Structure 1
Amino acid sequence: MIELRNVSKLFGQTRAVDAISLSVQTGELCVLIGTSGCGKSTTLRMINRLIAHSAGSIRIDGRDIEQIDPQQLRRGIGYAIQNTGLFPHWTVARNIAVVPRLLGWPAARIRRRVEELLHLLDLAPAEFAAKYPSQLSGGQAQRVGVARALAGDPDILLMDEPFGALDPITRESLQNELLRIQAQLRKTIVFVTHDMDEALKLANRIVVMDKGRIVQQDSPQALLAKPANAFVENLLGGQERGLKQAGLLRVATLMQVLTTAAAPLAGPRIKATDNLRQALSLMLWHRCSSLPVVDEQGRQVGVLRLDALLDRPR
């Protein structure tokens, strides 16, 4: 869906992006990560021509973006940023409707789309459609920003640290919302962050950048297993790599299934859908070496033993 070939960007004599090549597949959630000034946001903004690239080529669905009218290009690409960019004097409904209006959609279709997206982002239309941005919490405003980015039903969504300014609880909630929406809609998403935990949670593929270059790109699991160099290893958390890897695996993958004859276990319980990092934390806190595993209805379906965590393959 998106292909960059030997793309560079110069600001005067400064090379912000240096001959990078990257392909993002249809339906993939690709995360660009690195320290401040590494070129990740510049790379994102070159895709929708908010910043012109200095060299190389960028193609979307096989078309060179320089052959596409910039306004037409941007109307076909959703864009969500950290400060939302909502128009303060417009209602939530009007903010979400801005791209469909530019695309010339009929009023009835726009109204249906706004309501659909408000429901999708857990914002009741009757409560939120007529509100103004100043009447929203940070998390609600960010949800509206995501809804606006999705309003024109684009195939591509670009997200530049959209949850970076939020508190940890709201941020986690919106990360879960994004994963839920992505499971339904299967958009092609390029997501910029400086938070490795966020990248590991969201990404199908992580692209690590440093000094304008791509240092390594791979799945979260492969990146944790074999970082290319000390920079990537440190970005992944150094000695905490084991915990971060455990956070990618579900309890169900290592639990021992409970037989019908086995008696239910007592003690702190964990869900089969929780991750192994959460399980290890419970074991350490309660000083136990096994946990009863339950399903979404609270019924015990298995047991997770500490030995299984220690023996898990890397």
Structure 2
Amino acid sequence: MNGKVRLGEFLQTRRSQLRPADLGLPTYGERRRVPGLRREELALLAGVSASYYTRLEQGQSLNASPEVLDAIAGALRLDEAERLHLHNLARSPQGAARRRRPVPERVTEATAQLLEALADTPAIVIGRRSDVLAWNRLGHALFAGHLDPGSADRPAERPNMARLVFLDAHSRDLYADWPCKARAVVGNLRLVAGQYPDDAALHTLVGELSAKSPDFASMWADHRIKPCAVADYEMRHPLVGPLTVTQQTWSQEPGQNFVAVTTEPGSPARSALALLARAVTAQAAAQAVTAQAVTAQAVAQADPARPGARTAG
């Protein structure tokens, strides 16, 4: 889908979501054949000609000035994130960007150290396509304890948070208000798609989710934008039960987000996270003992003469 079509779809969808009454426009009791505002009404509010706005919405023009885009954003009642998304959609495509092969995403050493330092705080790093690039032990246990903790280190096997939220039963059950979490995921993907219009892998992901999840397809068609920032969620963890958490997101490297989970001091959720942390520590200790035993057995079998090695009876 090219930039003109994406821009036109966004404008048309957001225009249909506005009602004349929302903007104080008189309707004189007339029957309206289209949902929301007419093109002529929006053009009047934005201070542009109806013919120009029509060409813009129909994909016949992709060279609107920043001033015109801001005027249209004001008429559509867009917030700051939505206004920036509109500008991204209206940018002329860069031929060099389309030809550039995507570089595999990876976390920096500093980010990896930060994850390790936050041992008592669930934390994950998410790439621009929602791939999990890294997580600490508690982050893995909270979000995806049913998955291999080492999968984030293998680019071909990395979990994808969008796929998990829409296609994984464990992740869907994890959120008491799943539609709220799902809309946040879709809104952020919409924002990223506007920033990286030539990312073929991102468009492949959207196509896959649209085909496999009617919920995703419906939310994607709504063209809502929701940047990741701070959000409260009621989670239902299979090991420690319900807990209310705050997910805070910071931008790291270009296109990467660092997500940390906090709870209120003295709350049941704080106790639940502490319980989960103890379970993770105990599991890690048990795995270390098992690994040492396996290593010792392998060494003994390789060198029967080594002290402590078994001898055939």
TM-score range, shorter chain: under 0.3
* Higher RCO (Cα < 8 Å, 6 or more apart): 1
Instruction: Considering fraction of residues, name the structure with more strand.
Output: 1
Q: Bigger radius of gyration, 1 or 2?
A: 2
State the TM-score, normalized to the length of structure 1: 0.21
State the TM-score, normalized to the length of structure 2: 0.21
Instruction: Considering fraction of residues, name the structure with more helix.
Output: 2
